[in-house]
Structures are given as C-alpha cells and as structure tokens.
Amino acid sequence: MDARLESIKDTVLARNPGEAEFHQAVVEVFESLGPVHDRHPEFLEAAILERLCEPERQIIFRVPWTDDSGRVQINRGFRVEFNSALGPYKGGLRFHPSVYLGIVKFLGFEQIFKNALTGMPIGGGKGGSDFDPRGRSDAEVMRFCQSFMTELYRHIGEYTDVPAGDIGVGGREIGYLFGQYKRITNRYESGVLTGKGISWGGSLVRPEATGFGTVIFTQEMLKTRGTSLDGQRVVVSGSGNVAINAIAKAQTLGATVVACSDSSGYVVDEAGIDVDLLREVKEVERGRLKDYAERRAGVSYVDGGSVWDVDATVALPCATQNELDGDAAARLVRGGLLAVGEGANMPSTRDAVAVFQEAGVLFGPGKAANAGGVATSALEMQQNASRDSWSFEHTEERLTEIMVGIHDRCAATADEYGEPGNYVLGANIGGFVKVADAMLAQGLI
C-alpha cells in the first residue's frame, strides 16, 4: 500500500477497534487508491480519505418488543449514515444475529462506492439489527418491525435517508416498516423506503434486480474473453433473494446452475436448479434447501460442508461476507474456474481475491457486480417522485443499461490506471473519484 495512505489507514483502524469487517473493507479500498493520489494531491490536502472513513452520523438504539409468549425481548438497532455527497443516504437494513456496528459500517462504507458507480444521485448508508427473523411468527416480525421503525422514523425521509432490504429483510419486513412509518408521520411518503410491494409504490424488477444485475455484469466480463454464460457450469451460494434471482437469470442465458446453499448445507442438482420449486420452498414456505432436495429426483443434499467443493466454470457467491476463502478459491481454480461475480457484499476474503487475480480469473467485486439492486431502488425512487410506474420490460432495460455502464466504467478505469481487467481497482477508483470530487466541491463538512 502507498505509504501516504498507510498512515491514514493505521489511524482509521486504531479509531475503530474491534470492527474486523470494516477494517477489511477499508484496507481493500485503500490498496487501490495510491495512483489516484499521485494524480490528485488535492484529495490528500482536503483529507478526503479521513473524512470518508468517518460516518457522517451513527445511530444505535434499543428495540423492545414482545414475543408470542408475552416475554419481553430486547434487540439493538443501527443506522449508519455514511456519506451524502451524491444524494440522500441509501442502503439496506440487515436483520441477522451476527449484526453489530462493524458489519453495518463495512456495508455502509462499500455502499458509498457502489452507489457512486451506478451513476444515480444516491449517497451511502446501511442499517439493521441483531434480531433473527428465522423461526419467528409473522406477528412477532411485525411487532419487531414496528418497534424498530418507532425509533428509526425520526432519522429517515425521502430526501434524507432511504433504507431498503438486505439479509433477513424482504417484502414482508419492508411492508411492516412502511406501515409504521406512515402511521407515525401521517404521510404517504412512498420514497422513504424501497423494495415496497408493487401495488403500494414498489417497482417491478426490484426483487430480481440484484441477482439479475450480478449475472448481467458477469456476462459482460465473459464477453471480454470472447465467451458468454451460455453453456457454463455455475455454482451459486445462498438461496435467498439474490441467489434465487441470479440462478434464474443465469439459466435464462443458457448456463446450468448445478448447486446452491443455505447456512445448513447445499444441494447438487446436475440437471440444473428448478427455480420454480426453489421459490416455492424458500419464498412461499420459508423452508430449507433440504426440503428442496426431498422433493426433486436426482438431487443430493450435503449437510454442512462447502458449496465451493463443487466444480464450476462460473461462481456466484450470493450469501454473506467472507464465505469464500483462499483454500476454496484455489480449489475452484483447479476445477477450471473462469469467472466470479459477487452477488453478496465482500463474500470473498482478501486471500481468495488474490488467488483469483493471480490465476487470471475474471473477478467482479460486489460493489460493482451487485449494484443492480440499489440502482433499481433508485429507479423506484424516480417512479415514486413522478407518481408513475414503469413496465417490467422498460425497468429491466434500464437495469441492463446501468449494469453494462458499471462494467464499462470499471473496465475503462482499470485501463486508464494501467491494470486492464482489474475490476477491483476499476470499481474502487471509479467510485472514489466521483465521491471525492463532490466532497471537494461542497467544502469542509
């Protein structure tokens, strides 16, 4: 790492002790930014990096609620409003027992660059709770969401901060959150949350957007090597929103997705995952992958283990951070891997990224490859602002244009800085320069 950036990084790490995921995200970005500071010494003088690493606002709050047996439960809620240079804070809410400040900050930090890359007017933020929706009844989830919003509502707004979903937060949760916001404020402020239902202000393609976008980005990477997804053997991790829609899109483009996972195990389905059955099991019944395997002939279920043991030419990690380590990456490379498109945020460890890059595998980092979700959220905000709703075809066309644009911007930036094909560098520099320019123009705030 560039020596000037090294000392800023050390200060940032020391100021934020115990936040391993945030440290990892910061180091990864700093490693790309040396050449930018050679060209733009004004960024150093204005302490852009020091300011970027310090969230504009961090909110931590108590979320009390009662479970179905009448017992009082207490969770912790978070919203980190990281950077508003380009627009209102924008980023999802994650409900998962692993959530703590370090995870929310890593996600919020990544979100700044991702949102800049989309070319849309949105800043970066992220939030969530250590609440675990798994195994909770609808009534419990509703009471939790209502209590969470009873504090969060005073911090958000269509021109201030616009949350959306992430792990554990889908259409059901957004509905309960929106209802409580409307009740407290007495405003039908559609643009305050994205990921809403279609009949009450949502956008077509938003549920599919992250997974579809990841596959479109991966297709663009493959095109640079004169190939495509057609005929590829694909492995996807996860079986939630991003994973299911990535599987659907990859198969539409002619690939065969032979495996996917949840946090209990994985399935191998050599005929190609049956997306309708997977949606039925995971989205309608809120069941487990094991149930999928029990209902389809010729499918094997592996309890525990790693889905990255299955050979593939294309890998789409769509579950969670640090789920693919250096050993798994080396195994995939030995199995003939051509490309990785990150649907999840930071799913590959730093070791894994190094293995992929050394082996010449096309590697699309999450902040570029999974930006289709937030980009379509921005399209949802546009529709809300103009009280309009667009067709599926039109919205998907916009998503495709945006993803191709992100790919091309990353590729062109990597070329400009002398590292053709390095999408990590392209994404980090491309996103950073846009935000840094806006911060410079807006003065010391």
Strand, helix or coil for residue 164: strand
How far CA 364 is from CA of 26, 172, 193, 255, 370, in Å, comes to 18, 30, 28, 18, 9
Site residues for ligand NDP, window 370-409 (CB under 6 A)?
Answer: 370, 373
Q: Which helix (H) or strand (E) holds 11?
A: helix 3-15
CB of 118 to ligand NDP, least distance (A): 11
**Known catalytic membership, residue 290:** no
Q: Which of 90, 114, 126, 367 is catalytic?
A: 126
- Could you say whether residue 348 binds ligand NDP (CB under 6 A)? no
Site residues for ligand NDP, window 249-278 (CB under 6 A)?
Answer: 262-264
Of 40 and 373, CB closest to ligand NDP: 373
Tokens standing for residue 148: 């969470």
DSSP string, 345-406: SS-B-HHHHHHHHHTT-EEE-HHHHTTHHHHHHHHHHHHHHTT----HHHHHHHHHHHHHHH
Strand, helix or coil for residue 161: strand
- Could you say whether residue 210 binds ligand NDP (CB under 6 A)? yes
Query: Is residue 100 exposed (0-12), middle (13-18) or buried (19+ Cβ within 10 Å)?
Result: middle
DSSP string, 243-305: HHHHHHHHHHTT-EEEEEE-SSEEEE-TT---HHHHHIIIIIS---HHHHHHTSTT-EEEESS
CB of 353 to ligand NDP, least distance (A): 16
Query: Cα(297)–Cα(417) distance, rounded to whole angstroms?
Result: 51
Of 126 and 434, CB closest to ligand NDP: 126
Per CB under 6 A, which region of 2-10, 295-303, 312-320, 433-441 contacts ligand NDP? 312-320
Query: Is residue 179 exposed (0-12), middle (13-18) or buried (19+ Cβ within 10 Å)?
Result: middle
Query: Cα(239)–Cα(245) distance, rounded to whole angstroms?
Result: 9
- Could you say whether residue 341 binds ligand NDP (CB under 6 A)? no
- Could you say whether residue 344 binds ligand NDP (CB under 6 A)? yes
Count of residues interacting with ligand NDP (CB under 6 A): 23
Site string for ligand NDP, 234-253 (x = CB under 6 A): ----xxxxxx----------
- Could you say whether residue 165 binds ligand NDP (CB under 6 A)? yes
Of 241 and 313, CB closest to ligand NDP: 241
CB of 55 to ligand NDP, least distance (A): 18
- Could you say whether residue 102 binds ligand NDP (CB under 6 A)? no
**Residue in 102, 123, 128, 168 binding ligand NDP, rule: CB under 6 A:** 168
CB of 345 to ligand NDP, least distance (A): 4
- Could you say whether residue 167 binds ligand NDP (CB under 6 A)? yes
Q: How far is the first Cα of the chain from the last one, in angstroms, to the nearest whole number?
A: 27
**Residue in 177, 278, 281, 318 binding ligand NDP, rule: CB under 6 A:** 318
Active site residues per annotation: 126
Interface contacts to ligand NDP, rule CB under 6 A: 165-168, 210, 238-243, 262-264, 318-320, 323, 343-345, 370, 373
